[in-house]
Structure 1
């Protein structure tokens, strides 16, 4: 039986949940996630879990926040006064916005609070600070020709 090893292209189906049971992502209704083991295309902890698995094998995996999107960092919060916002903008909590940095790069942020005269933005990944649980199943393994 062929087992996944570094350099193999693997395809997995998964259901990702949070501690409260909420599903944050799933491949149930779409194509499996495909990646090359050892290429750093997914979390290292996910790669490590798949190594040694065979097609059809299932596994549950808990990835702590530190090994997923990292901790939720207060330094990634930004509060702006309404006079710093574009004229006519009416941001709402949960809305995604992009700030243009001085070098021209775009920084994605999420509106988390709108109060009289100011808005608070969060630059953390929405899953930062959260442990992630994956129910995964290896769909296929293919070896690259050397």
Structure 2
């Protein structure tokens, strides 16, 4: 059976970014998703259509079809007092929170005396994503 919109698909994958493995299903259960449902990034979803169980494919996904291009407006300064209670206020630390029902993740990029610079871009925004995929099952 070929992968088509609405089919439940199981894949093993390795994601490489800038020559380094960023994520992999190795040692875990396969990733299961419904084709065409928006559960995985569009650039990967579309490239797997037509494959069947046992097929392997390398897929290169440009930023616009992955996690988007970096938005300079998503880098913001916030008062250090807004982060009171956060255990790790240092560059590279990841903050998670929510505004209303919208959840967000930010990375601290700079720490000043009075303010902290945070980056709300997805960590993989602006990156070309290299996937090596094996189709495990299609239902």
SS of residue matched to 2:64: helix
Which piece of structure 1 moves more, 77-86 or 120-129?
77-86
The gaps in structure 1 that reach 5 residues or longer are: none
Is the contact made by 2:89 and 2:111 (CA closer than 8 Å) also made in structure 1?
yes
Give 1:58's match in structure 2, choosing from 56, 62, 65.
56
Q: Matches of 2:14 and 2:89 in 1, distance apart?
A: 32
Shift of 1:28: 0.8
TM-score when scaled to structure 1? 0.84
**Residues 1:35 and 2:33 are matched in the alignment:** yes
Residue 118 of structure 1: aligned partner: 115
What SS does the corresponding residue of 2:127 show, helix, strand or coil?
coil
Which aligned runs of 4 or more in structure 1 are off by greater than 4 angstroms?
87-90, 103-106
TM-score scaled by structure 2? 0.88
The question of 1:68 aligning with 2:66 is answered yes
Name the CA shift for 1:119/1:51 in 2 (closer, same or farther; >3 Å). same
Note closer, same or farther for the CA distance 1:133–1:106 as it changes in structure 2 (3 Å cut). closer
CA distance in 2 between counterparts of 1:57 and 1:74 reads 39
User: What corresponds to 1:136 in structure 2?
Assistant: 133
* 3-state DSSP of counterpart to 1:133: strand
Superimposed CA distance per residue, residues 94-138 of structure 1 (whole angstroms, 9 cap, x where no aligned partner) = 11224554x475532111111343311011110011010100000
Aligned CA-pair RMSD: 2.0
Kept in 1, the 8 Å contact 2:92–2:109? The answer is yes
Matches within 5 A, 1:76-95: 76-86=74-84, 91-95=89-93
- Structure 2, unaligned runs of 5 or more: none
Alignment partner, residue 12 of structure 1: 11
Q: CA deviation at 1:51?
A: 1.1
